[in-house]
Structures are given as C-alpha cells and as structure tokens.
Structure 1
C-alpha cells in the first residue's frame, strides 16, 4: 500500500491511498462471501454454499466490483489511519476514487487542530477578585427560604386588617371615566401583598383595609408598562376583599433545618452553612468569568483553526444543553424560537455558534497548555479535593455513594482530576486582589 499525506486548512488531513493490485483478489473473495451469505437465488436456501459462477450470473460483475471496492476502501482507510497515526474527530469523507486499477482513493479526514501558542502567554497576568459574603446576603437567603416555606391561615374576623405579607383573594376591575377597561377584570385573584406582582401602588393601597371591604384605588400605570394601551394611564380600580390569610412563617429549628439540608443544625450553624453555599456559588461564577477572561487573553497569542466537523459537534452539544434548560423551565423549544422569530438553523448560527466556538477554543487551548506546563495533580491534592466535596454533605447515604464514586480509575475520579488540573492551570495566571470585608 502506498500512502501520500497532505495537510490542508481547517484541520483536514488528506490521504491519497493506493492499494497493491495483488490484494484486490482477497477483497473480491470477501465480496463473494458477503453476497453468498445474503443471496436470494432460486434453488438455494439462504446462507447455503453457492458456486461463484452462479453468483456472478445472478448479480453481475459490476455489482460484485462495487462490493469489492467497498471492502477494499474500508480496509485501506483503516490501515492508512494506523500507519500514519491519524486520529479522526469527525466522519471521514471519500473525496474521489482516482482509479480502480490500481485502486487509488483520496480521503479527507478532520483531526484535532494544530495549536500554536506564542511564548508570550507566560507574561499573561490577570487579577483574581477575592470572594466575600456579607451578613446581609446571608439574611436575604434566609428570608427567601422563609418566604418559600411560609404557610397561610385564613382569618374570618371581619375586623382583621390587611397588612404587608398577608395573602388576599380579591375581585377587581379597572375603569376610566366610569367605563370598564378591557382585560382588567379578575375574580377570586390571590395575591401576597409585597410580592409586587400588580401595578405599583395597588398592593400598598390595600393595607389597612378589612375583610369584606370594597375599595376604590387610584392607580397610574408605569410609562414603561408592557402593554402599550395602559402606559401612563390613570385608572380607578374597584376592589373587593373576599378572603384574608395571615402568614405563618417557619421556625428555623434543628428539625426544620435537617429537612432542608440533611444536617441537624441550630440557626447559627445554618447561617454558617448558607454562607458557605453562597461562597461556593460566587466562587463557581468567578471561576467561569476568570476562565473566559483567560481564554480571551490566550486567543490573542494563539493560532487555532477549528475544523467544521468538531465545531458542528460542539454546536449540537451546546444546543442540547439549551433545550434541556428550557425544558426545566417548561418552555418548548419551538415556542422559544418563535418568540425570537428565528428558525432552528438561524438560532444555531447566530446564538449557539459563538458560544460553542469560544467553549471549544477554550477546552483545546487549556488542554494544550496543561501539556506545555507539564501540570500534574498529586494524590494528596485529590484527597483534599474529595474531602472538601464530602464535607458539604450531611447524609451518610450520600457520603457513602460519593466515596464509592471517587476512587482512582473511576471515570468520576478522573473527570474531577481533570477539573482540578485545569483549575490549577487557570489559577497560575491570576494574582489575588483582596476584597473589602462587607459587614
């Protein structure tokens, strides 16, 4: 077999492969055996031994030649990959059969792109922002949990007054100059005062009213209201309070906290845990920002020509993630695309492709840099990383499952090791800037 190798743009390797004429006979035998196995010839049961001359008479030399060439090309391609140490990243393309005798083909194979990183990368130094969490942020998180688990108990005392945080069920209708306005009538509409769901001023003006009261509220719609017909409009709303429910907030007892996080903690311990969770979230977001910042800097000193196939795969991967995220929000992809007035292909080109390109460039550059820097992750570093992960979980069952996953050789362990390696790499480009401590 003769092989000529050429490097083309877009990370394409061109192989011109010529098979030895003496080998074609063995591919013809394979073709005959393949046809024989699947033949449907009168007088022979399927799978039976059939003389070659009968197969030739039944199927013709042209068909046998086609199958022979298919077998030959498949073998030529695989052997050429091994000999030239070419690793495809996408489906190869047979560009042409140059000749049949001798059999000679031209194949285009997309491979990982060559990455040239200028030595200037060593001079890149970026600033890492230190992470801090204020007491106000912890308090806000507690309030959000409190709101989520707040229950409401109905009151029947007509003298009970409405206040912020109560839930009221109302009938309401808007009027302008005594004429009812379209789309303003609501029956038995529940609203928690202070949730700011209704027009500004509406909820506040109900404070102090009593169960069963009928009110008239003067409301001015905001100038930037989403409905053009109501922008800046002065409207009188007639409101009847049909039902009043008082908020019953949860108590942060050790038992309640255990239901929330699987750990029996007092309030101070829970606040500490929440602070750790907020810190983790901030650090995760900061790392994504730092990686983006670093990739932007590295791209300026890197030559990288992405192939079409590997980029197409990444585009589909990112698009699948977007669809899954929309699905979690109960949003249909078709509805989402319709709201953007874009077809699927247009959306992929304008919205998905830039994200996929940047992500793929980043992955390839970081992988190359890790090789250049000869970065390794020690067993001690992995033990510390796993220990940090495990301390976040209080459930013994969860801990046991995680301990079983993070074993050397296990794919979860190796994926974690790769993440730690990239984190070390990214951190090496950043200098820490101390943040002011928030009270």
Structure 2
C-alpha cells in the first residue's frame, strides 16, 4: 500500500492511497481461509469446499470488505502518525472505480480539512463580574398575583349582563349537520370560557354579547383536519341555551391558594416563589457572565479556522434567524438562505470559541458523566409527554442526537472550570437592571 500526499495548503489536506491488486487478493484469500472450516456446500462436507468454489461464491463481497478495511486502516494509521484530526468527515473517492476489475490496483483519493493546532491561551488575569439579584417583595407579590390568576374562579354576573371575552358562559347545546343531530354534539351545563379556543373556531365569538336565558344559534364549519372524519370540513349549526354568565375572579392570595400549589401556608409559598425567582435571576446572570468570559477569550486567541465548519455554522445561523423572522413557516420547504457577512463573522467567533473550549476541556480531562447525560435526556424527554420511552430509544440509536445533548453540558463545565480560576466580583443589582442587561445581550 502506498500513501502519497497531493495537497497541503493551510488546513486543507489531500492524499492518494494505492492498494495493489496482490494486497487485496491476499486479504480475500485470508478471509476465505479463515471461513473455510465452517462452510459446507452441496456435494462437499463442511470444511472441504474447494477454495476456487469459495472464491466464486463469496469473492466479490469479500473483495468489497477488503477494500474498505484497507482504506480504513490506511486512514487510521495516517491520522495516528500525522496527528491530524479532520474537521468534518473526509471525502473518499475511488479514482479508478469505473474501469477497475479484479486484479487491478485500487486508487483512492482522500481530502479533508484538518482541525487547527490550538495555541496555548493564558487564562490568568481574567476578570469577571457576576450580577446578583435578590427577590424583592414587589417581584414576589407580582408572581403570587400571576399564580392567583392561573387558578381564577368565576362568579355569577347579574341577570341581563352581556357576556364578554374572558367570561364563562354555562350552556346547553346540540349540534346539527345537514339538519340531523350528530353523535357527540350535545352537552348540558357546559362551562365555556369565551376566548379560550377550546371549541371549534368561530363558536365562542358568536356567544360574545349573549345574556342569561337567551337562546343562540351558532353556525360554524368543522376544520378540514378535524379528528372525526365524518364531520371534517362540514358546516354545522349548534343550538345553544345560555343558562348563566359568570365573570372571572382571581383567587385570594392566602393559605388556601398556597395549599393548591403544595405549600403548607402562604409564608411557605412566598419562600418557594422567592427561591424560584432567584434561581431564574441566577440563570440569567450566569448567561451574562459567560458572555463576558467568551468575549475575553475571543480577544486572547486567534488561529486559522476550517472553512467547512465556518460555512456550515453560518448556514445554520442564517437558517435559524430566517425562521425567527418568519414564524409562520414551520417546515423547511423554502428557498435557499444565503448567509450574510454578519452571519459569517458570528460563525467564525462561534467556531473559534467552540474549538478553543473543546481543546481546554480535552487538556484538562473534562468529561460529561453518564449521570449528567441521563439527566439531560430526561429533561428533553419531558417535552414529549406520553412518548418518553420512544424518545429514549431514539437517543440511544442516534449518535448525532447524543452529541447535541452532550455538547452544551461539556461547554458549561469548561466555562465553570475557567471561571473558577478567574477573578470574579459580585455586583448586586435590581431585577430591572438585570432585564436590561439581558436585552443588551440579545442585541449583540
């Protein structure tokens, strides 16, 4: 086997690997000899099948395996010897594939971009500011008021009051399609909150303005994708009787409210709310500290970047931002999105810092533990209620998904490692100042 360098320009590498026909034939013969004792064919006892027949029967498949093993072995040896680490999967092509026949040499071309050598970075002298926000009484009260709204009750309005959006109407109803009542279209004493979107689109709107004791006819059309196929896309009439109109009333902020949320009393609930708020503030403050750290690291080190990684990252940034600007588009059936110079500049920063953090983590033997990975999978699985098991199985079978879950954990652990050696000053600020700092972060 012969390996010849064809390209060494910046981070770009190219090689030509020549595997002689004799080498391949020897590999195939070795495989056949290894398997021969276990093979039997009609007319021959197990282990007595002639080599010529084995070669005719299995030679072509084994030749493919021999080629792959030879190329993989050559690449593995090359990376071990050169110390190169490819930025992305190397491109491998068989140069004489169309004209190749058994006995010929195999010529393979390999090209890739090598990851750059990361220069040593001086982590001494890093100065960081950690923002600290206490949960003030006003913030706790606001959070309690929001909790009270989430468990609001409804009280009966005086007779003659017109129902408005946000009110609850208690109705009897019966639905008809083509003049015939349909199964499941009838209900009594049903409490419907107007504006909740819990009924067919357009149904609740037609009850706005209704009064207690009134009868109303509601005309709607079932959605084309409605769950009951026999009703999908059909026009329907619902005959309704409004039995009560009720107005929303927030729950009282008291011990009873606290108990609804699992707390012993109001004082305990206030403590839990304060802890949750401060945890949220701490998470936001950490994001600001991390940005400050990354800004300093970005200033400290510069090195060549693999163009393929930058291009891929710029494309991903452009695609993500396009969808944020066009939230009504949920699929990827849109035209090509070309990254701008700003996208490319941001991509260069992300790739540079990503490679730097990866190298610092490698040198300091920082790893994601099995427990940390399992916790990340569990957190992600909660987004798919009822399908957690299927999600776990998907992650087990998908190496790329595993990497996506490990990457942010690893990065945070490296950031924590660097922060431990930095000079960190705490600065107490208000919730409002923290919100302004987060807004400024998003604008960068």
Q: Calculate the TM-score normalised by the size of structure 1.
A: 0.51
What do residues 158-178 of structure 1 show as CA deviations (whole Å, max 9, x unaligned)? Answer: 2779999865799xxxxxxxx
Tell which deviates more after alignment, 346-355 or 132-141. Answer: 346-355
Instruction: Confirm or deny: 8 A CA contact 2:6 2:14 kept in the other structure.
Output: yes
Deviation at 1:79, TM superposition (A): 3.6
Please list the CA deviations of residues 143-201 of structure 1 after superposition, one character each: whole Å capped at 9, or x if unmatched.
1111111122444x42779999865799xxxxxxxxxxxxxxxxx99558xxxxxxxxx
Alpha-carbon displacement from aligned partner over 1:324-369 (angstroms, at most 9, x marks no partner):
x99xxxxxx995247xxx7457469679998877655444323434
Contact 2:170 2:244 in 1 (8 A): yes
> Which residue in the other structure is 2:356 paired with?
365
The aligned residue for residue 399 of structure 1 is: none
The alignment partner of 2:282 has SS state of helix
Q: For 1:334 and 1:248, how far apart are their aligned partners in 2? A: 34
For 1:433, what is the secondary structure of its paired residue?
Answer: strand
Distance 1:285 1:33 in 2: 65
CA-CA distance at 1:307 after TM superposition: 5.6
The number of equivalent residue pairs is: 332
Quick check: 25-34 or 128-137, which moved more? 25-34
Which residue of structure 2 lines up, in the alignment, with residue 274 of structure 1? Answer: 273
1:295 and 1:112 map into 2 onto residues whose CA distance is: 20
For residues 236-291 of structure 1, the C-alpha deviation after alignment (integer angstroms, 9 at most, x for no partner) is xxxxx98531435445566754553x5x3321222122122111112212222332
Unaligned residue ranges in structure 1 (runs of 5+): 171-187, 193-205, 214-240, 327-332, 383-411
Question: Is the CA contact 2:4–2:16 (under 8 Å) kept in the aligned structure 1?
Answer: yes
Question: What's the TM-score once normalised by structure 2's chain length?
Answer: 0.51
For residues 356 and 83 of structure 1, the distance between their equivalents in structure 2, rounded to whole angstroms, comes to 31
Aligned CA distance change for structure 1 residues 51 and 310 (closer, same or farther; 3 Å): farther
Instruction: Indicate the residue corresponding to 2:290 in structure 1.
Output: 291
1:268-318 CA-to-partner distances (Å, cap 9, x unmatched) read 222122122111112212222332343244324332514636975998899
Rounded to whole Å, the distance in 2 between the matches of 1:6 and 1:248 is 77
How much has 1:435 moved relative to structure 2? 2.1
Residues 128, 433 of structure 1: 8 Å contact kept: yes
Partner of 1:432: helix, strand, or coil? strand
1:116 paired to 2:115: no
User: Does the C-alpha gap of structure 1 residues 33 and 284 become closer, same or farther in structure 2, counting only changes over 3 Å?
Assistant: farther
Specify whether residues 49 and 256 from structure 1 end up closer, same or farther in structure 2 by C-alpha distance, changes over 3 A only: farther
In structure 2, the residue matched to 1:434 is: 428
The 5 A counterparts of 1:151-190 are 151-155=153-157, 157-158=158-159, 167=168, 190=193
Q: Is the 8 A contact 1:10 1:305 kept in 2?
A: no
The answer to whether the Cα contact below 8 Å between 1:89 and 1:310 also exists between their aligned partners in 2 is: no
Equivalent residue number for residue 143 of structure 2: 141
- Structure 2 segments unaligned to the other structure (5+ residues): 172-190, 196-208, 215-241, 373-404, 433-444
Deviation of 1:135 (Å): 1.9
Aligned 8 A contact 1:318 1:356 in 2: no
